[in-house]
Amino acid sequence: MEKKKRKKSRQEIQKEQRILEGQIQDEKEIFLLSGLQIARMIKARKISSQRVVETHIKQMKKVNRFLNAVVAERFELALEEAKRADEVIKQSKPEDLPIYWGVPCTLKETLLLKGMPNTGGIYYRRYIADEDATAVKRLKSAGCIVLGITNSPELAMWIECYNTIYGRTNNPYDLRRTPGGSSGGEGAIISSGASPFGLGSDIGGSIRIPAFFCGIFGHKPSAQIVPTTGHWPAPKGDALKFLTIGPLAKRAEDLFPLLKVISGPDGIDKNCKEIELKEPDSVKMSNVRIISPAYEGFLPVSREILLAQKRVAEFFKTIGLKVEEKKFPLLKRSFEIYFTMMENASEITLSELMEENGNFSPFLEIFRWALGRSRHTLPLIVLCVLERFPFFKGKRAERIFKLYEQLKTILTEEMGDDGVILYPPFSSTAPLHYLPIFRLLDPGQFTGIFNVLGFPSTCAPLGIGRDGLPLGVQIVGSWSNDHLTIRVAVEIERAFGGWVPPKISSITL
């Protein structure tokens, strides 16, 4: 049985209201705020950027020795930037300052950040970035202060956050478990309260799976609306269209402002499209259709996760929304469709990225790994072996391409401009370390399918389950309807409470 949501006491409600009004009595209360709330307090001079940054650095130092989420820090530079931000505030009107002025954040290591490592988890790539990724530049322009960069697996291509440079990242709710990947470091450090929000990347669930495992919010934007310039590694060819950069955050209200900040063409990424994003506030919830299909996938799903999705659907029914329980038989083929699209769209193999000279032999590397002499991790070696076999090529691929077009048409028509689909983010809550090697197909079945379809997808937390781990649901919309999936996530946060601080954070609501 999953835990029922406890009714808040009068004192807790009063405390929340006081914090929302900017009346901070304990530095730990800063961690309960969204990035937007922190920014408003800084601009109103109720709290200094320096104090906010110092408080988050202190928290980061405390939790990171257990999590191993932040792999390189820039604390001194961040404090200097915070001091300058406070000086600017003294001479400026609040409305003239960028939206996130003086607010700390973190970034996935795969995003270029000037002066910081950018290895992509590959042992040979000891690269220090000499420029910022486009999304990072835009985040800085919005006033954000970067505290550090966070861990990801090799080539950002696995759901277990581990590599031979930085080691393994742990889940803040249970250190024996994975925080997910590939943006696992971001998920873990944000969930622990040490960062209000950050940026990750997603080509098969790499934002949503860590958000789900770590009990926070994560948004995979519609395909090709955020430039991927300055992300390493990056696929070549049409597969690059499936990769996107997006936000992870403790609070849902930060998702859309961050998306607005980083979206739009930069003149470098030729795939990126111009789009005028609609505002979540423009959505009238009474007009939203909720589609909650019965899960019919090939892979089994935890009953607890399916019940959590059902609870969300039932909630929307109780507030008068139209909830439709439809069947989409083609979703059974999701992992086939995902891997077919990926295999046929990429013009570079994983093996070519694994070694500097491109001469990587996965079969030889398995023997090296067995002898403890490999600089690579087993999941990536296995993936390199599998890509040598044409599972999804030729006539079989042609048949699956047709299924892809059918599924895209069906889901687009069903959702329209006013509907969202609820779907499991994964088959279980956060697995124990090492066990994801037996879940090779999960990302394709539950999250990756929406990358190749190009749909926006938001992961929202639903409290804590019976094993003390976060539950959650995925909210999917039609292309460019990011505002709609995020608006539904905001409503879910109001109803179910959103992020629940893990014990390791020492934060209490």
Structure token pair of residue 445: 């079945």
Rg (CA), the chain: 22
Q: Is residue 45 part of a domain?
A: yes
Catalytic choice (206, 292, 427, 457): 206
Q: Is residue 355 part of a domain?
A: no
100 close to 39: Cβ distance less than 8 angstroms: yes
- State residue 355's pLDDT score: 86
User: Residue 108 to residues 94, 148, 153, 224: CA-CA distances in angstroms?
Assistant: 30, 9, 11, 19
Per-residue pLDDT of the chain (509 residues; tens, 9 = 90+): 344 445 666 665 566 666 656 567 677 899 999 999 999 999 999 999 999 999 999 999 999 999 999 999 999 999 999 999 999 999 999 999 999 999 999 999 999 999 999 999 999 998 999 999 999 999 999 999 999 999 999 999 999 999 999 999 999 999 999 999 999 999 999 999 999 999 999 999 999 999 999 999 999 999 999 999 999 999 999 999 999 999 999 999 999 999 999 999 999 999 999 999 999 999 999 999 999 999 988 899 999 999 999 999 999 999 999 999 999 999 999 999 999 999 999 999 999 999 877 789 999 999 999 999 999 999 999 999 999 998 888 899 999 999 999 999 999 999 999 999 999 999 999 999 999 999 999 999 999 999 999 999 999 999 999 999 999 999 999 999 999 999 999 999 999 999 999 999 998 87
271 close to 234: Cβ distance less than 8 angstroms: no
- State residue 2's pLDDT score: 43
67 close to 169: Cβ distance less than 8 angstroms: yes
Residue type, 455: F
Whole-number Å distance between alpha carbons of 313 and 324: 9
449 close to 334: Cβ distance less than 8 angstroms: yes
- State residue 4's pLDDT score: 46
Q: Token match 């191993």: residue?
A: 68
**Helix 378-386 vs helix 362-370: crossing angle, to nearest 10:** 150
| CB neighbour list of residue 413: distance below 8 Å, 6 or more residues apart | none
Task: Tell whether the torsion through CA atoms of 245, 250, 256 and 260 is positive or negative.
Answer: negative
Catalytic choice (15, 34, 49, 108): 108
For residue 284, which phi and psi values (nearest 5 degrees)? -90, 110
Q: Cβ of 60: how many Cβ atoms within 10 Å?
A: 24
Catalytic choice (34, 49, 182, 183): 182
Q: Is residue 419 part of a domain?
A: yes
Q: Is residue 151 part of a domain?
A: yes
**Helix 334-345 vs helix 394-415: crossing angle, to nearest 10:** 120
Q: Is residue 360 part of a domain?
A: no
- State residue 208's pLDDT score: 98
Whole-number Å distance between alpha carbons of 125 and 197: 27
Tell me whether the omega of the peptide bond preceding residue 179 falls within 30 degrees of 0, making it cis.
no
Residue 61 falls in the annotated catalytic set: no
Residue 273 falls in the annotated catalytic set: no
Q: Find the farthest-apart pair of alpha carbons in the chain and give their distance in angstroms, rounded.
A: 67
Q: Is residue 4 part of a domain?
A: no
- State residue 21's pLDDT score: 61
Residue 423's DSSP bridge partners are 474
> Kindly report the CA angle at 60 between 54 and 66, in degrees rounded to 5?
160
| CB neighbour list of residue 367: distance below 8 Å, 6 or more residues apart | none
335 close to 299: Cβ distance less than 8 angstroms: yes
Q: Please classify residue 192 by burial: count the beta carbons closer than 10 Å to its beta carbon, then call 0-12 exposed, 13-18 middle and 19+ buried.
A: buried
Q: Please classify residue 68 by burial: count the beta carbons closer than 10 Å to its beta carbon, then call 0-12 exposed, 13-18 middle and 19+ buried.
A: buried
Q: Which strands make up the sheet holding 145-150, listed edge to edge?
A: 70-73, 145-150, 104-108, 197-202, 244-249, 217-220, 457-464, 470-476, 419-423, 289-291, 322-324
- State residue 234's pLDDT score: 94
297 close to 427: Cβ distance less than 8 angstroms: no
Q: Is residue 62 part of a domain?
A: yes
| CATH code for position 329 | 3.90.1300.10
- pTM comes to 0.95
Whole-number Å distance between alpha carbons of 380 and 377: 6
**Domain range spanning residue 19?**
14-349+387-505
Residue 206 falls in the annotated catalytic set: yes
Give the DSSP H/E element, type plus range, for residue 306: helix 303-318
- State residue 18's pLDDT score: 63
**How many domains in the chain?**
1
Q: Is residue 464 part of a domain?
A: yes
Structure token pair of residue 394: 């030729």
Task: Tell whether the torsion through CA atoms of 434, 440, 446 and 451 is positive or negative.
Answer: positive
- State residue 3's pLDDT score: 45
